[in-house]
């Protein structure tokens, strides 16, 4: 509003010298445009310098620096099953519905250190779909097996507990206790297959398979 009022007051003068007014207006417009141009150019030059600096820093980084580890840097777990016991749980509420499987397993690592983040077991009866077993914490003392070949396992034998706390390097052996919703007669069938798995810290899974008839004590 102030500019309009100023123009009204100065209008008589402008009418007497229109060319002078127009020239002055053009000069002011050009000067403002130049100021804006140089300000924009300076800002653009600053950003260009920053981009060049970041590019130079990126180029100077070691070639082996990357966000994802290379295969040589990852863990490389190996797994084996050397035997085990299949048993009917002693608790009355579990008899007939679950079968216990105490597996003697060994795990070792030929890559970078890693704990075992997850253990799994699938029981695969011949011609049937796999049934996933539930990993269970070994109590302080548990008797497994039959009347004449029973074995006592303890919490200190638990391979899952040990490998969850300490990185795996040298071979670690122990016992894994699972329960599965299948009759014992199906589990111990020589044609039934066990599939044991373990995962490292990157979620890479190692799997080993074994037919029951090859080694399990009953």
pLDDT in tens, 62-71: 554 445 556 6
Give the chain's residues under pLDDT 50. Answer: 64-66, 217-218
| Domain extent listing, the chain | 2-60, 77-215
Instruction: Phi first, then psi: give them for residue 204, nearest 5 degrees.
Output: -75, 130
Predicted pLDDT at 182:
94
Instruction: Give the per-residue pLDDT at 17.
Output: 55
Q: How confident is the model at residue 143, as a pLDDT? A: 85
Enter the pTM of the model.
Answer: 0.65
Q: What is the CATH topology of the domain spanning 77-215?
A: Immunoglobulin-like (2.60.40)
Looking at residue 205, its pLDDT comes to 96
What's the pLDDT at 97? Answer: 78
pLDDT in the model for residue 46: 63
């Amino acid at each position: 509003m102030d500019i309009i009022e100023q123009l009204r007051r100065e209008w008589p003068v402008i009418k007497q010298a229109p060319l002078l007014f127009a020239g002055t207006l053009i000069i002011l417009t050009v000067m403002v445009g130049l100021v804006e141009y140089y300000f924009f150019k300076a800002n653009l030059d600053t950003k260009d310098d920053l981009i060049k600096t970041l590019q130079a820093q990126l180029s100077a980084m070691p070639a082996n620096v990357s966000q994802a580890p290379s295969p040589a840097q990852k863990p490389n777990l190996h797994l084996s099953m050397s035997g085990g016991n299949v048993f009917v749980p002693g608790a009355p509420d579990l008899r007939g519905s679950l079968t216990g499987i105490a597996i003697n397993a060994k795990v070792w690592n030929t890559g970078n250190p890693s704990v075992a983040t997850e253990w799994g077991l699938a029981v695969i009866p011949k011609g049937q779909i796999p049934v996933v077993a539930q990993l269970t914490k070994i109590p302080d003392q548990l008797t497994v097996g039959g009347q004449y070949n029973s074995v006592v396992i303890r919490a200190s034998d638990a391979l899952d507990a040990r490998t969850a706390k300490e990185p795996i390097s040298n071979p670690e052996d122990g016992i894994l206790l699972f329960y599965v919703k299948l009759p014992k007669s199906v589990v111990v069938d020589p044609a039934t297959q066990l599939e044991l798995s373990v995962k490292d810290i990157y979620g890479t899974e190692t799997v080993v398979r074994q037919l029951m008839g090859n080694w399990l004590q009953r």
